Structure 1
Amino acid sequence: MEIGIIGSGNIGSILAGYLTALGHQVFIANSRGPESLGEVGRKTGATAVTTAQAAGAKDLVIIAIPNKAAVNLPIDILSVSEAIIVDAGNYYPSRDGQIAAIEAGLTDSEWVANVIGHSVIKAFNNIVAPSLATKAVSVGSPNRIALSVAGDDKPQKWAVMKLIDEIGFDAIDGGLLSESWRQQPGEPAYCQDLDKGTLTSALQQADIRKRADNLATADDMARPYL
């Protein structure tokens, strides 16, 4: 596939390395421009490009940036894209500022979809970078870590789940995009390195009545690192 990754932080760079190793043509971009991505390109094999070029990837675009930066994406390109667009971000108010629509009940990925004018699949947001980088294993390995994938387009969701499996993790259906809050910061399914069965249970344990409090707690814990 032709894959664009917008965001060269830990998650974006790790995914670039996996995807190039699988034989995909990967383009990676950040807000500072391709000239800042020499080391990332050397380590991952991905081609450093502009954000607009990454957004124009034919088959898959992964957005791995803070929510607050979504408004600066090349919306004119993304809104008409025929690619699957994956949102790998998480909303942290102390970093992203108070986003009224999310505070009012939208999931962060629903908000991103509205901003870019294109549907998205939520994936790669509920695993910490060190685990993503080091804990990929082959199919059938005991205690294989699972990632949940949420979205409204089933074929697109299944395509992303297949890619996750190829990278080295199990994938489970996390429901509609409106249910993706279950895999967001503060919830039982967030960044716990769970296997498929345990992750399924964790998603079901999430309580919508506790969503705001759980996010606030997670935000306070993450504040020193953001």
Structure 2
Amino acid sequence: MKKKILALTLALALSLSLAACGGKDAPGQDADSGVPEVNAPEGGAPEGGAPEDDAPEGGGTDAPDASAPEKGGTDSTETETSEEINLSAFYNTLREGNIWPELMDLTTDANMKELLDSYYPGLAEIAAKQRRVYIAAISAAVGEIALVEVENAEDVQAVEDIFQARIDYQVGDDATPGGAWYPETIEGWKTKSRIVSHGNYVMLAVGDASASAVEEFEALFA
């Protein structure tokens, strides 16, 4: 009987011992959270962590590219556009500074369009930002001013050709009398006509003050 009691006592003691061992924390486990710890490899970052940056020697910086222009800077290759010249105002300047015969405006009055097309065929069809034509009110007088600013530079030559055709018609030739009709007027158109252009601007000046008009025209772009 004593042997049985001793055997039961040893069995109970062994059971209690095993239960105590089972209550201890498992290796590598957080006793509070129950989440396994991550073991970092020796000398490296923890597994699953962010890799180290491949920074260049000397340390990398996030400085902006030196070749990129600063915000708000001005592109040195950008060209400045010249201010548009008011041809009506320039015409008034010519009239004030020189002697011209009485001139009629063919371009601001719609009733004059037919006359403009007759004297300067094709001029109204050319795309222009400004177009001003002034002819002598008296046919016997030598005086005419035509000013055009074309929209497209390639039309400058076309305007010059129209202006030259106007001179040729007024002067005429040996077979055909000139439109100026009178010998003195024809001579004035032959010797006192000037065509000049600068950029998209073209001028025809006819009369005693034509040379001075050319100088003033060129001065606009100096």
The answer to whether the superposition gives a TM-score over 0.5 is no
More helix, by proportion: 1
Using CA pairs below 8 Å that are at least 6 residues apart, which structure has the higher relative contact order?
1
Alignment TM class, shorter chain as reference = under 0.3
The normalised TM-score by structure 1 is 0.26
Higher radius of gyration, 1 or 2: 2
